[in-house]
Amino acid sequence: MLNLAAALARPAQATGVAPGRVNLLGEHTDYSGGFVLPTAIPQQARVELAHSPDGDFHVHSASLGRQVVFAPDDSVPGDFARYVYGCVAVLRSRGFEVPPLSMRIDSDVPIGVGLSSSAALEVAVLRGIRALLGLPLDDVELALLAQRAEVEYAGVRCGVMDQMASSLCDREHMLFLDTRSLEHRLLPLPAGTRVLVIDSNTPRALADSAYNERRSECEAAARQLGVAQLRDVADVARAASLPPPLDRRARHVISENARVLEALGAPPRRFGELMDASHASLRDDYEVSVPALDALVLALRSQPGVLGARLTGAGFGGACVALVEAAAVDAAREGALRAFAAAGHRGTPLV
């Protein structure tokens, strides 16, 4: 076998770059066919690719300091390489011939914080392979392949929001996405506002198992309500007919979809109020918050110029997002960090 360092020293023949994302509204609705409003963050995954000098894939993560070699017919590797393997596998399932490649990955998207580091990696890998091989894939097709890679090879039953956001978003807009029809459009952020993201530094120890559990509960609630997905229910009062905890899960999804649709034409202050209501729903009905996230949301909301704040991502730890008047964002960031520290926690500003 060729020396791995030598394989990775080959000049890059193509590059793929994709951002992480933060979700402003529409949490835990995508796998129920609902509506979401994510936006891109500055942090991104970057993948440099070249044809492999031998018959193996050589993958090095500079940010993790780890490297993996696997053959095209190997079983799924562990660690970060399963995302790369999955991207290659789904391309091959579409009939594209993907030769062995050497890849160098560098990502500054925080892992385990709720900012979609895995989706950024998948989209970056697929963009790089698309560029190298000249594949006829548009950005929506690419996002759908990235989602398949995560579901089938990383074992996360995710919806399509993260990959669509990484493939279609930019930092100046929010992406309105109907996750059922895939209708989408970029919209400006509420006038005169900026997005603030702070990591609670609380590990998301239960996020993956609880994510799959919540998805199963939503599917059960839809069956009992006689609909294909909770997206098909507009009247939140219908959730009361369900047994607990399905009533609470359905109430969150139905009300969260309504919040996203209202936010599309909402002025900044109302948008912030919808974010506040979203956090309350995630905390009380969906039960994916933890005390540190609630404390960080309170610390953010106590700052002048903060219009609304909520947890973002799967929950059980990770980051919170706030909508802030642009002129107040620096003071709000510092004030929230101080208030969070006074409550016994340590936050890390990310955006």
Who's near 239: CB < 8 A, 6+ residues apart?
221, 233, 247, 248, 250, 251, 254
**What b/e readout covers 256-274, taking b as 16+ CB neighbours within 10 angstroms?**
bbbbbbebeebebeebbbb
Query: Which amino acids are annotated catalytic?
Result: 162
The SS3 of residue 162 is helix
Alpha-carbon distance 307 to 271, whole Å? Answer: 8
Alpha-carbon distance 109 to 107, whole Å? Answer: 6
DSSP 13: S
End-to-end CA distance of the chain: 43
Alpha-carbon distance 296 to 351, whole Å? Answer: 15
Structure tokens at 212: 């799959």
Tell me the residue type at 59.
V
The SS3 of residue 108 is coil
Structure tokens at 35: 């509506």
Torsion of CA 22, 28, 33, 36, to 10 degrees: -30
Alpha-carbon distance 165 to 168, whole Å? Answer: 5
DSSP 292: H
Burial class (CB in 10 A: 0-12, 13-18, 19+), 282: buried
The torsion angles phi and psi of 208, rounded to 5 degrees, stand at -70, -50
Alpha-carbon distance 297 to 272, whole Å? Answer: 12
Alpha-carbon distance 116 to 320, whole Å? Answer: 14
Nearest by Cα to 35 from 293, 232, 248: 232
